[in-house]
Amino acid sequence: MTRDVRERRLLRLWALWCGLLLVAAGGGVPAYGAQPRAAQNPLSVTYVARACHEYGDIAADEAPAATQESLRALGPDADRSRPAAVGTASPPCEPLTGWTFSTGTGITGPTAGTRNLSTVIGPVRQDITTRAATPELDAAGNPTGRTLRGAVTVRLDAAEIAALDANSLWAQGGTPVQPLNDERGAYGFGALRCARDGLGGDNVEHLTIPAGTRHVLCRYDAVASPPGAGTIKVVKHIDGAGRGDFRVDGNLSYADTDDDGTNDFVLSASTGKDAARTFVRGASDIGSAPWTFHEARTPGSGWERVGAPDCVARAADGGRGRSVVRTDAAGGVRVGLVAGETVTCVYTGRRAGGEGLVRTESLGGTGTFALDLEVPPGAPPIRTRPVTTTRPGVPETVVSSRAVVSGTYTAVERKPVPDGRGTWGLTSAVCDGEEMPVTDTGHTWRVAHEVAAGEDPHCLLTHTFTPAGAIAVEKVTRGGTGAFGYGVTPHPVGTRPAEGAPLHGGTATAAKAAPVVRADGRPGPVASGLKVDGGLRYTVREFLPPATDAGHWVLEGVDCGAAQVGPPRPGAFGVEVRLTPEHPRPTCRFSNRYVAAGTPGVTKGTLDVIRTTTDDEKLRPEATRLELSCADGVRDSADIAPSAPGGSLPEHTFDTATTCTVTEPRTGAAANARVVTSASLMVDDGEQRPVRPGDPFEVRPGERTVFRLADAFTAASPLPSLALPPSPRPTRSPLPLAGSSPVELSHTGDDGSWLAPTAGLAFALLLGGGVLLRMAWVRRRRYE
């Protein structure tokens, strides 16, 4: 046997040894390529719970409610760029095991018996409890290879699927009887978000599974060692006669209703009808963190405060409370709230006499009002002119003050002609501090006032506006019947609707044209009482039934008539609507078709992802990374070399609707370069609309979707740097977990579990190679 033959045999033996080791250890190395597709995974929900040190550790809702159910305001919205459903706990919050969730077919509001938290009714399950860890799933229900701590994944059972199909499936933290899982001393409610960021800030969330997905997440944020809860009630009382809207500013409310940068709420009071708002809030210290509020005064409104607010604290047994309350003459209130107590503060207002004989004001908007004044026999006539209000709640003079003779004076106002925006009502008439009756004759309103000799009369007429905008939805299906959900969300023009539960909703199950049923079951349009305002848009969205092995639903078209603003929004089953005086109550007809599995001739959908960047290697010395991930399991990626001005992914085709996300984990930018990333979406050569990079978008069969991602590079101006010592970060003690000892924070992304087997494999290869080389050297010496 020659030396060459012997050496070749030794090399083959060494290669065989390496191959056997690779096969044996193959399961230890993670696969980062395409994951195997699951044709139809069961519908499932992963419930995640985490415990946070403070309320400020939890991101606030995008549209906080004035009475959201957390005992303190939540933190800034800095981490909203992360999907709300991401369940991995991040500092300073930690995984929470042993936390129970419930599902039901409806909801009810907070009561004292439910610890002032909303709960589900018609409960379906009350045994969904988080474990130490569970595998993370993507939107298609496939494992990602990562692990979620303090979580549990459950498949929807038959009752939940039926509720889902009826658009009436709800999730709740805790159980209806124990919303805090009997852990109210250890944990308090912070936030609950399912699939999308919620808007209500309450302990219940509407559960939906978007088209093209099989799995969603619900995340519950608890606060460890919460403060005790107390109640603050603010009341507005009218002394005398009148009607008005009164705004109260302060940290007691979590919402900013007038977008002036200060949280507030509004009390609408009238003669004999007080207005009140009740807030359940955490115990507070009067010196360091009091609850504060004050009544804001509208200049020119004529309303005067009668003294300082009258505040009283009561203990749970009705006796005198220990809460500390401080008021001032300007209407300000500071409260150091004691747990279990109720502080009630009453603001009293009185309308001052006006400068005119007859004045008019408007609430809920501004408008033009025309009236005549009938005078007693023998009195000189009084001429009037139409008056237009300029600010809600601020009166305008119709007839100036003058000497009048005794007798009956009657104001006769012609009703404003409806213009599509809404209707006006004469809701209050006050003369000399007395509420006067209003007579409706059909075309006019009449108010009579008896003036005695020597009187100096003053009358104020108050008009209230009721918006008339409404959006109805009709449903048409072909090829089958199914349960569809609908939502209407208002938003300013030029902005996207906030993620979360729609302001109005409805459902439909029909095979031919039929109106959608309101969520509350009442007849009429899905959304009513809408403002007809050129600065507002309304997005009408459709939620398709989940796809099954038997087939799926596709959207064929949406027609909202003249109120529709362009084609359906790219990447979403919805359309944007503008309400105008000419078209204040449109009807949107959604047409859908059922596509059975294996139907021949069904046009596939396509997705092209195009990337543009800079080829300046000084600004981008490293490769750019582009990644595509879809809910049906499609994954792709590409690296764009520093010298290339752009690149793209291969075109992907889709048989069913799905949700995709395009991300750029690495820009390749130099340390001194600034990068601004933008993205746009175009469907079927239509309008190219901007979207936010990293946001999910939908791809549908029969449509050609093009996603473009662009980076703009600029060189940063060199600035002198100052060497500052790092600020020490305060350390926090670990949080106690329900029913368990503290655990470490869970990881996001690769958990490093492959390191040990990989290191073992490398060691085995080196050891085997060394043995073979030693044998070869010994045998070679023997033959020499």
Average pLDDT on 580-592 reads 88
Give, in degrees to the nearest 5, the angle at Cα 223 between 221 and 224: 135
Per-residue pLDDT, averaged over 503-528, amounts to: 70
Question: Cα 620 to the chain's mean position, in Å?
Answer: 37
Host domain of residue 520: 469-596
Q: Are strands 439-440 and 407-414 parallel, antiparallel or unpaired?
A: unpaired
Residues, the chain, total? 784
- CB burial of 36-67 (b: ≥16 within 10 Å; e: otherwise) equals eeeebbebbbbbbbbbbbbbebbbbbbbbebb
Residue 368 within any structural domain of the chain: no
> Is 443 contained in some domain?
no
Cα atoms in the 13 Å half-sphere on the side-chain side of 242 = 32
Are residues 140 and 55 part of one domain?
yes
Regarding whether 192 and 134 lie in a shared domain, the answer is yes
Rounded Cα–Cα distance for residues 118 and 107 (Å):
7
User: Is residue 427 domain-resident?
Assistant: no
Point out the domain boundary residue: 351, 367, 386: 351
What average pLDDT score do residues 402-419 get?
87
742 band by pLDDT with thresholds 50, 70 and 90:
very low
Q: Given a cut of 80, is residue 771 above it in pLDDT?
A: no
What is the chain's mean pLDDT, rounded?
A: 80
Domain boundary among 172, 194, 224: 224
pTM (2 d.p.): 0.62
Higher pLDDT, 352 or 319: 319
Per-residue pLDDT, 405: 84
What is the chain's Cα-based Rg?
34
Note the pLDDT of residue 111: 83
How far is residue 776 from each of residues 5, 762, 771, 783, measured CA to CA in Å? 12, 21, 9, 11
Q: Give the domain CATH number at 484.
A: 2.60.40
Last residue of a domain, one of 224, 256, 277: 224
Per DSSP (E only), the strands in 271-318 are: 275-282, 291-295, 303-305, 310-314
Residues 624 and 527 in one domain: no
Q: Which residues contact 446 (CB under 8 A, 6 or more apart)?
A: 410, 411, 412, 413, 438, 439
Domains contained in the chain, number: 4
Q: Does residue 197 sit in the same domain as residue 170?
A: yes
The verdict on residue 80 lying in a domain is yes
Q: Is residue 410 part of a domain?
A: no
Count CB atoms within 10 A of the CB of residue 722: 5
Query: In which residue are the tokens 């599902």 written?
Result: 103
- Average of pLDDT values for 314-329? 93
**One domain, residues 179 and 70:** yes
Q: Are residues 70 and 214 in the same domain?
A: yes
Which residue in this structure is represented by tokens 């852990």? 183
pLDDT of residue 497: 62
Percentage of the residues of the chain whose pLDDT score is greater than 70 = 77
pLDDT of residue 284: 93
Q: Are residues 186 and 208 in the same domain?
A: yes
Residues 301, 243 share a domain: yes
Which residue from 308, 345, 333, 337 is spatially nearest to 234, judged by alpha carbons? 345
Residue 506 inside a domain? The answer is yes
User: Does one domain contain both 58 and 193?
Assistant: yes
Q: Is 397 left (phi over 0), alpha (psi -120 to 50) or beta?
A: beta
CB environment 220-241: b (16+ within 10 A), e (fewer): bbbbbebbebbbbebbbbbeeb
**Helix (H, G, I), strand (E, B), or coil: what is residue 11?**
helix
- Least trusted range by pLDDT, from 557-561, 618-622, 692-696: 692-696
Looking at the domain assignment, is residue 759 inside a domain?
no
Average pLDDT over residues 131-158: 91
Asked whether residue 621 falls in the same domain as residue 654, the answer is yes
Of the pLDDT bands very low, low, confident and very high (cuts 50, 70, 90), residue 519 is: low
Q: Does residue 208 share a domain with residue 247?
A: no
Whether residue 92 is preceded by a cis peptide bond, meaning omega within 30 degrees of 0, is yes
Same domain, 339 and 312: yes
Residue 35 pLDDT > 70 = no
Spell out a b/e string for 434-443, using b for 16 or more CB atoms within 10 Å of the CB, else e. Answer: ebbebeeeee
Is 448 a member of any domain?
Answer: no
